[in-house]
Amino acid sequence: MLRLTGETLHVHFLGTAGALPTPQRNLPCIMVRRGSDTLLFDCGEGAQQQMMRARTGFTVNAIFITHWHADHFLGVFGLVQTLSFMGRTEPLTLYGPPGVHEFAGMVEQLSRNTVRFPVRSVELRAGSAVRFDGYTVHAFATLHGIQSLGFVLAEDTRPGRFDRERAVALGVRPGPLFGRLQRGETVRITREGQEVEVLPGEVMGPPRPGRKICYTGDTRPVEDRIRDVAGGADLLIHDATFDDRDHERAEEVHHSTAGEAGAAAAALGVKILALVHISPRYTGTAGHVEDARKYFPGEVMAPADLAMIEIGYAE
């Protein structure tokens, strides 16, 4: 069923470092909270402490792991322990590339006797789609030297805008009939003594796109391959391990520079670009932001750990 009212959509940057943590930045972990759902994308060491600091609560429904480099998954072990101590009984599902079943097995084995909820696993490949209530998480292949995925969270299309005045002009009385029209039902009313039908198309505008968030995980630029799934995203969270001066190093180790992230944002026509997976070699991110802005005219941010942004509906 189409939802009539919008859900909140918050992105918490719980970890924005790459490879090694620093005193300021934890390892990769992006939390997306939509309505009452909470998803983690990657789960670096200490993720649960970041969740405490950000006061997000612990009701994690699912964890999506981009690839099996330890900076992206070591936090699962500690988080599972913490969730168990807090009395969780609902299953937790881990989604990831091939290797995820073995990983979930290791989590269960290491946590033997202490974890009281099932840890499930679902293997994803490029093109996999995981359906949730009101949105889908799509997986795409990235270029990182090992098998790795990026993810797009895409909301379902929303119904068009309801034209209340038009409905009244057609003789529909405000009340339950409005709701039925908004849900796509045809209603019958009496107009000037005659029974007539009012069709939803007479009072509803064209369907409106849902919101979209893309998280690349670790990768060389891949925008040419992901236009279909990630084009027009509200938020692109892109690997920007290096600034543009370290371009050669980025190529060597299969990461992106901030300028490349900017070019990807421009090619995909996104609204906001967030630069993450910042190498510990940099003390600040002003250079990263500047590099990205050379290519991308939209909003660029290099979020600090615990930064949160709310994604609104485009109107």
Interacting residues toward Zn ion by CB under 5 A = 18, 69, 71, 218
Looking up tokens 């009539």 gives 4
240-263 burial, b at 16+ Cβ within 10 Å, e below that, comes to bbbbbebeeebeebbbbbbbbbbb
Q: How far is the CB of 205 from Zn ion (least distance, A)?
A: 43
Question: Which C-beta is closer to Zn ion: that of 145 or that of 200?
Answer: 145
Q: How far is the CB of 7 from Zn ion (least distance, A)?
A: 30
Q: How far is the CB of 217 from Zn ion (least distance, A)?
A: 7
Long-range contact set of residues 98-105: C-beta below 8 Å, sequence gap at least 24: 98/123, 98/125, 98/147, 99/68, 99/147, 100/65, 100/124, 103/65, 103/68, 103/73, 103/76
Tell me which residue of 159, 184, 193, 190 sits closest to 172, measured CA to CA. Answer: 190
Q: How far is the CB of 220 from Zn ion (least distance, A)?
A: 11
Question: Which C-beta is closer to Zn ion: that of 29 or that of 264?
Answer: 29
Question: Which C-beta is closer to Zn ion: that of 218 or that of 244?
Answer: 218
Q: Is 71 a catalytic residue?
A: yes
Catalytic residue among 37, 71, 218, 246: 71
d(CA 14, CA 153): 18
Q: Which amino acid is at 148?
A: S
d(CA 257, CA 242): 5
Question: Which C-beta is closer to Zn ion: that of 26 or that of 182?
Answer: 26
Write out the catalytic residue numbers.
Answer: 71
